[in-house]
Amino acid sequence: MAEILPFKAVRYDPHQVRLEDVVTQPYDKITPEMQTKYYERSAHNLVRIILGKAGETDTPAFNVYTRAAEYLHDWRAGGILKQDGEPSLYLYSQTFTIPGTRDLTERRGLVVAGRIHDYSDGVVFRHEQTLSKPREDRLNLLRATRAHFGQIFMLYNDPKAEIDALLKTEEEPDISVLDEYEVLHRVWRIHDSAVIHAIQQHLRDKKLLIADGHHRYETSLAYRNARRTAAGSTDSSSPHEFVMMTLVRMEDRGLVILPTHRIVHGLPDFDRERMLEAARRFFDISRIDLKTENRSATTMLQEAGENGTAFVAVTRQGPYLLRAKKRAVQAALKDISARQRSLDVVQLHKIMLEQVLGISEEAIREQTNVKYERDAFEAISEVRQGANVAFLMNPARIEQVRDVAFAGEVLPQKSTDFYPKLLSGLAIYALD
């Protein structure tokens, strides 16, 4: 049973700061260059809390986490951050152009305090594995600040849009901010008790699927368990029993998943012909002649993906379209569930990367020989600059992600790229 509560969000005072100068992309999407820009943009930019710069003289008693706690305390004391006077839910709208198109669309979500569940409870489901280092980093930040600064991106089924029907508003938004990707983010407070109660009732029988924020969710789970152990008991109403989430329905027309392409590099004995010869056992391979084709490799990939699984291997000598030989692939992946055997990203990882190229699961997990890139042209450019090979992918479909997750399974890392990301700093869930 999914349980959500209204909460008193801590938010930037727009009279004291310009919102565009203080909000950020999620911490794991902030590059070093972005971090520097955020630092320069404002002395109150949230990056100083969620991804602070380490110093040469840092000690266990004075470091990025203790500084984050100091910033949060000082900004709240100085009125830069103010807490809402009454518990609310927050309608969150993102209006954006779908990358690679001219299509303008909107995605709507609901920012709530959601009860934290163990995966075994059958309420919250993951679709990817997490890594220990990011979990430890986020746990250190949560321990120091006792606050959540970004929302866990959660999905739920609502084919009839019953919850959306309760979120109609003609009022001006409380927050309106345009980010660096030209995405318009707007937020409205919902504090009508009757509407909140109706939303809570509609969500009671829903399963929640983590779209983005696996590390932060598991960090919240670990923190909750630690607090329970320290207290020697469980108070189900304690703030640490909940985490800030944005709930989006799976059927939302603005739910966009972008492809994430793979770049293989650093293989000293890589040989294109040997790779293609080994791959022919599992895939039908055709050379893409860009001089004679009036379509791009990505367009051909999309068309091939409509009738089966496919991906494009980009080498220095040109691109190749690989389409699965169903029987051979099914046999090679016989130890994997049927729902996963039919996914191109699983075929790529388990057959091309591990079997054909000999890259271990650990090397893939630690990104020793594999890099990930959203932009196909950037991936191709990496090959021109010396990478061994790039694999261009079609995006996963939400139905595929849902079926795998609800079956209690996980996909290879970076199987999904939900766009756009949820901004950090629009609302803060403080545990104190």
Instruction: Find out whether 256 and 107 touch, Cβ atoms under 8 Å.
Output: yes
- Predicted confidence (pLDDT) at residue 286 exceeds the cutoff of 70: yes
Q: Which domain holds residue 249?
A: 4-256+419-430
CA dihedral 174, 115, 221, 82 (to 10 degrees): 30
Q: Looking at residue 365, what is its pLDDT? A: 86
User: Which positions ≥6 away from 146 have C-beta within 8 Å?
Assistant: 430, 431, 432
Q: For the domain that residue 224 is a member of, what is the CATH number?
A: 3.90.1530.10
* pLDDT given at position 298: 84
Task: Assess whether 279 and 237 both reside in one domain.
Answer: no
Choice among 14-28, 79-93, 294-308, 366-380 with the minimum mean pLDDT: 294-308
Residue 97 included in any domain? yes
Give the pLDDT confidence score for residue 297 in this predicted structure. Answer: 83
Residues 89, 202, single domain; the answer is: yes
Position 290 confidence tier, pLDDT thresholds 50, 70, 90 = confident
Residue 409 within any structural domain of the chain: no
State the chain's mean pLDDT as an integer: 95
For 204-260, the DSSP string reads: TT--EEEEE-HHHHHHHHHHHHHHHHHHTS--TTSGGGEEEEEEEETT-TT-EE---
Asked if the model's pLDDT at residue 229 lies above 90, the reply is yes
Please answer whether residues 263 and 370 qualify as being in contact, where contact means their C-beta atoms are separated by less than 8 angstroms.
yes
Q: Is 319 left (phi over 0), alpha (psi -120 to 50) or beta?
A: beta
- The answer to whether residues 184 and 136 belong to one domain is yes
| Residue 251 confidence class, pLDDT cut points 50, 70, 90 | very high
Is 176 contained in some domain? Answer: yes
Same domain, yes or no: 122 and 68 = yes
Residue 146 has pLDDT above 70, yes or no: yes
Answer yes or no: is pLDDT of 192 > 70: yes
Closest C-alpha to 42, from 24, 55, 56: 24
Instruction: State the Cα–Cα distance between residues 260 and 417, nearest whole angstrom.
Output: 7
Please report which confidence band the pLDDT of residue 257 belongs to, taking 50, 70 and 90 as the band edges: very high
Cα 75 from Cα 77, distance rounded (Å): 5
Which position has the higher pLDDT, 349 or 56? Answer: 349
Name the domain count of the chain.
Answer: 2
Residues 15 and 40 both lie in one domain: yes
What is the secondary structure of 120-150 as a DSSP string? GGSSEE-SB---HHHHHHHHHHHHHH-EE-S
pLDDT at 219 over 80: yes
DSSP 331-388: HHTTTS-HHHHT-HHHHIIIIIIIIIS---HHHHHTTSSEEEES-HHHHHHHHHTT-S
335 plus 187 within the same structural domain: no
Tokens of 301: 């990939």
Report how many helices (DSSP H) and strands (DSSP E) the chain contains, helices first: 14, 21
Share of the chain above pLDDT 90, in %: 87
- Is position 412 within any domain? no
Asked whether residue 141 is assigned to any structural domain, the reply reads yes
* 299 and 207 together in one domain: no
359 token code pair = 């890259």
Q: Measured between alpha carbons, how far is 160 from 148 in angstroms, rounded to an integer?
A: 31
pLDDT of 338-381, one tens digit each?
A: 999 999 999 999 999 999 999 999 899 888 999 999 999 999 99
What is residue 293's predicted lDDT score, i.e. its pLDDT?
A: 63
Same domain, 287 and 229: no
Q: 214 and 338, same structural domain?
A: no
Mean pLDDT computed over 70-94: 98
Phi, psi (rounded to 5 degrees) for 391: -115, 120
Q: Per-residue confidence at 100, pLDDT binned at 50, 70, 90? A: confident
Asked if residues 110 and 163 have their Cβ atoms less than 8 Å apart, the reply is yes
**194 lies in the same domain as 92:** yes
pLDDT in tens, 366-425: 889 999 999 999 999 999 999 999 999 999 999 999 999 999 999 998 899 999 999 999
Q: Please tell me whether the peptide bond between 420 and the residue prior to it is cis, using omega within 30 degrees of 0.
A: yes
Give the mean model confidence (pLDDT) for residues 200-228. 96
Mean pLDDT of 9-23: 97
Label residue 292 by pLDDT band (50, 70, 90): low
Token pair 């099914």: residue: 330
State whether 290 and 223 are in the same domain: no
> Cβ–Cβ contacts within 10 Å for residue 173, how many?
16
- Lowest mean per-residue pLDDT among 258-267, 292-301, 382-391: 292-301
Same domain, 191 and 48: yes
- Rounded to the nearest 10 degrees, how much is the dihedral formed by the CA atoms of 3, 109, 411, 97? 180
- Judged by DSSP in three states, 298 sits in helix
Model pLDDT, residue 406: 96
